[in-house]
Structure formats: C-alpha cells, structure tokens
Amino acid sequence: MSVAVAVIGAGVIGRAHIRILGALPPGQGRLAAIVDPTAEAAALAARLGVPYFTATEAMLDAVRPDGAVIATPNALHVAGARACIARGVAALIEKPIADDLDAAVAVADEAERAGVPLLVGHFRRHNPVMQAARRLIQEGRLGRLVTISSDSMVLKPDSYFDAAWRREIGGGPVLINLVHDIDALRFLCGEIEAVQAMTGSTARRFAVEDSAAVLLRFRSGALATITLSDAVPSPWCWDQTSGENPHFISHQANAYRLCGTDASLEMPEMALWRYAGQCGWDQPLVREVLAVPPRDPLVEQMHHFLRVIRRDEAPLVSGRDGVATLAATLAVKRSAETGEAVHPGRALPSRTHPPGA
Ligand SMILES: NC(=O)c1ccc[n+]([C@@H]2O[C@H](COP(=O)([O-])OP(=O)(O)OC[C@H]3O[C@@H](n4cnc5c(N)ncnc54)[C@H](O)[C@@H]3O)[C@@H](O)[C@H]2O)c1
C-alpha cells in the first residue's frame, strides 16, 4: 500500500520532508498535499503537482491523508496534532512536541486515548551511530556511565533570524537545538533526574537566549555538562560533526564524550578509549574507531513513519518521549530563570512521570 503523507508547514525542515517523500520508491509512500500560507509554498505545490491548502483542517477533510508531517513553528504544533488526532491521522510532529508542557502532555494523552500514533521528530535517534552507541552502553562496554560532556556550539547565519519567531522567547537554541541533545542523551543515558543551567543573550541581544551552560544528573547517577551557543564559530556540535544534515558543512571533530568506569566513547566518530591491560594514568590508552555504516536519519525517520502509519511499528519517539524531553528542556529555562536545580519529572503528571525520576 502506498502511504499518502501531507506536509503541514513547508519551511526549512518541511521542504526536507517533501524532498524525502518525493524520492521514496514507488508504492511505499507519496506526498499527498502541502499546507502553508506562503506564496512560495503555493508555487512549490504547483511545481510538484500536489494539492495546496492554506489551512490544516481543510486539507485533512479534503485529502484525507494516511499521515501528516507537522513542520510549523513550535507554537502551532499542538493545534496541528489535535486536528490530525481528531481525524485519526497519524502525525510526525516536529520537535519540540510543543512549546508548553501542559499542552504537550494533553496532546500526547489525546493521541494515546484515540489510538492515533504520534511520532516526535527527534530524528537523531534514527542515526545508526546513535543506535550503535546505545547498544554499546546497554551491553556494558563502557562499564557504568560516570560523566558525559556534550558540545553544541555553532554560528547561525544572520539570515536565519529573518523569521521573527526565531528572535522571540521559545524560538531560540534551547528549544530548537538543545532539545535534540537532551533527547539524544536521554536515548543514550536514560532519564534525567535534575537540571541546573544558566542562559545568556549577550552575543545577539535578542529577547531569546543565544547560549547556555547546562548540568544534568541522570537517574543512574551519571553527570553531564552541555555547552550551547548559536553565536560562535566552532565545529563542535552534532550537526557539524555527524554529516547527517546537508545544511551544515561537516568537520572532523566530536560533539559528545561518554565516559564510563571501563571505557570512554567519542561521538559521532565512535572512538572507543580503553586500557588494553593494566589500567591507570601511567598506562597507555588504546583508541579504537568502531565502523558504523552511515544512513541518513531523516530518511530513516520517514521510512519508520510509514511503518508507524501502517501500524507495523510503534513510534521510536513516542508522544510520551517528546513530553519527557520537553520537560527536561524546559527545566533548563526554568533553572536559568530561578537559579535553582529543577527536577523535570516532578513537573509531569504521574502517567507521564518517568518511573523513579
Ligand atoms: N528535526 C529537525 O532537525 C528540525 C530542523 C529544523 C526545524 N525543526 C522544527 O520544525 C519546525 C519548523 O522549523 P523551520 O526551521 O522549518 O521553520 P520555518 O520558519 O522555515 O518554516 C515554518 C513554516 O511553517 C509555515 N506556517 C506558519 N503558519 C502555518 C500554518 N498555520 N499552517 C501551515 N504552515 C504554517 C510558515 O509559512 C513556514 O513556511 C520547528 O518546530 C522546528 O523546531 C526541526
């Protein structure tokens, strides 16, 4: 069965989804419609010969797609998801699931109650490197995780900020970029118990933050530091080192270091550091690079979404996952505002509360 997928929001990431849908093998899936109020989106739909709409509900009622990608600005995710859920249409909702935790919990609950699959677009989890690292950790190859350091430092071009919502609260690198790192670290290291953070906006002087320094404590006891900025020339971020995003020039550097009692891992290079014989700083460390054949995680995510739509697989990133990642990400903002440590699990209702957090 060829799955019909509509794209709601044909901006930067929406157009990437449109390209992927257009390149799917015949019979697997196809672009069913585009929803976006701009003239550029209307022209794109005309060029591709697909139905064009300015309103989500009108599209869903007229086209009745099997699934929809919601790639609108953050504040519109929940409204788009609700329109899909009400009509039984599976949704791939871009990250973050919402810009408000209560709305995120409500929409994840609504989807569960209605039995409509929601996949949240934390597409890094579909990267084979991320999956190989998770297996390595679960197999105990690093021993017990002790410390993690994660860098997310990059220079966004000035033109990126032409869209006004990116200069305003909710449109900054904590919700747009850090949310990916937090989701990836949850995927690799488990639930986050406590968050302490500071944010700054002195580089760009917009209402929204441009930088942050974050401390995490995982339920396992492991501790992480994350350094974030979208205003500095640097190669040290996942997007610029993993080669997974064609919008970024790729550099040979690493963004994550995961250190355990038996070995440490640099990612995305997948360099494993360990002692071959006796251990200790007076002994040589061996560095072994593990080969992981690359695959485009955004394409992998779409193939997974098609299987989710067909009910062949459960979402790899569920609404509940999207909520827990958002709770930890919003905890960064709250901690920065209050100066206090924040326990993200405590902000969630017990159904969504990650056990033990
Ligand atoms: N997964 C990723 O790596 C990734 C990357 C970039 C962005 N995103 C997420 O995707 C979302 C969009 O980001 P972007 O960078 O593509 O933004 P963008 O501003 O380039 O695109 C947003 C699009 O939504 C359209 N839009 C606005 N209101 C609409 C409505 N009511 N109905 C339909 N369309 C509407 C806009 O006209 C615009 O074309 C954000 O939530 C962002 O966090 C995810």
pLDDT digit string, tens, across residues 232-262: 999 999 999 999 988 899 999 999 999 999 9
**Residue for token digits 């290079």?**
269
Q: What is the Cα–Cα distance from 75 to 99, expressed in whole angstroms?
A: 6
Q: Is residue 13 in contact with ligand 1, taking CB distance under 6 Å?
A: yes
Q: What local confidence, expressed as pLDDT, does residue 247 receive?
A: 81
Q: What distance in angstroms lies between residue 41's CA and the mean position of ligand 1's atoms?
A: 12
pLDDT band at 351 (very low <50, low <70, confident <90, very high): low
pLDDT band at 356 (very low <50, low <70, confident <90, very high): very low
Q: Is 320 buried (19+), middle (13-18) or exposed (0-12) by CB count in 10 A?
A: buried
Q: What distance in angstroms lies between residue 77's CA and the mean position of ligand 1's atoms?
A: 9
CB atoms within 10 A of CB 120: 31
Q: What distance in angstroms lies between residue 122's CA and the mean position of ligand 1's atoms?
A: 14
Beta bridge partners of 147: 223, 259
Nearest ligand 1 atom, CA 55:
32
CB atoms within 10 A of CB 256: 26
Nearest ligand 1 atom, CA 165:
19
Q: Is residue 54 in contact with ligand 1, taking CB distance under 6 Å?
A: no
**Residue for token digits 């917009």?**
206
CB atoms within 10 A of CB 99: 20
Q: Which of 19, 72, 93 is the pocket-test mutation for ligand 1 (most atoms within 8 Å of CB)?
A: 72
For residue 301, give Cα distances in angstroms to 21, 104, 143, 276, 284: 11, 21, 30, 37, 40
Q: What is the Cα–Cα distance from 104 to 98, expressed in whole angstroms?
A: 5
SS3 186: helix
User: Which helix (H) or strand (E) element contains residue 93?
Assistant: strand 90-93
Q: What is the Cα–Cα distance from 95 to 179, expressed in whole angstroms?
A: 8
Q: What distance in angstroms lies between residue 71's CA and the mean position of ligand 1's atoms?
A: 4
226-255 residues labelled b (16+ CB within 10 A) or e (exposed): bbbbbbeebbbbbbbbbbbbeebeeeeebb
Q: Is residue 176 in contact with ligand 1, taking CB distance under 6 Å?
A: yes
Task: Give per-residue pLDDT as tens, 37-57.
Answer: 999 999 999 999 999 999 999
Q: What distance in angstroms lies between residue 164's CA and the mean position of ligand 1's atoms?
A: 12
Nearest ligand 1 atom, CA 298:
1
Q: What distance in angstroms lies between residue 196's CA and the mean position of ligand 1's atoms?
A: 29
pLDDT band at 350 (very low <50, low <70, confident <90, very high): low
Task: Give per-residue pLDDT as tens, 127-174.
Answer: 999 999 999 999 999 999 999 999 999 999 999 999 898 898 877 899
Instruction: Using the predicted structure, report yes or no on whether residue 176 has a pLDDT greater than 90.
Output: no
Q: What distance in angstroms lies between residue 204's CA and the mean position of ligand 1's atoms?
A: 22
Q: What distance in angstroms lies between residue 76's CA and the mean position of ligand 1's atoms?
A: 9
SS3 291: coil
Q: Is residue 74 in contact with ligand 1, taking CB distance under 6 Å?
A: yes
Residues 6+ apart with CB under 8 A from 334: 342
Contact status, residue 7 vs residue 31, Cβ threshold 8 Å: yes
pLDDT band at 353 (very low <50, low <70, confident <90, very high): very low
Q: Is residue 73 in contact with ligand 1, taking CB distance under 6 Å?
A: yes
CB atoms within 10 A of CB 11: 16
Instruction: Using the predicted structure, report yes or no on whether residue 65 has a pLDDT greater than 60.
Output: yes
Contact status, residue 239 vs residue 248, Cβ threshold 8 Å: yes
Q: What is the Cα–Cα distance from 223 to 193, expressed in whole angstroms?
A: 10
Contact status, residue 323 vs residue 105, Cβ threshold 8 Å: yes
Contact status, residue 58 vs residue 87, Cβ threshold 8 Å: no
Q: Catalogue all structural domains in the chain, each as residue range(s) with its CATH number.
A: 3-121+298-317 (3.40.50.720), 125-295+327-338 (3.30.360.10)
**Residue for token digits 């580089």?**
203
Name the pTM for this structure.
Answer: 0.93
**Token pair for 99:** 């810009």
Q: What distance in angstroms lies between residue 72's CA and the mean position of ligand 1's atoms?
A: 4
Q: Which of 52, 76, 94 is the pocket-test mutation for ligand 1 (most atoms within 8 Å of CB)?
A: 94
Residue nearest to atom 33 of ligand 1 (CA): 36
Residue nearest to atom 10 of ligand 1 (CA): 71
Nearest ligand 1 atom, CA 77:
41
Q: What is the Cα–Cα distance from 314 to 119, expressed in whole angstroms?
A: 9
Q: How much is the average pLDDT of 348-356?
A: 53
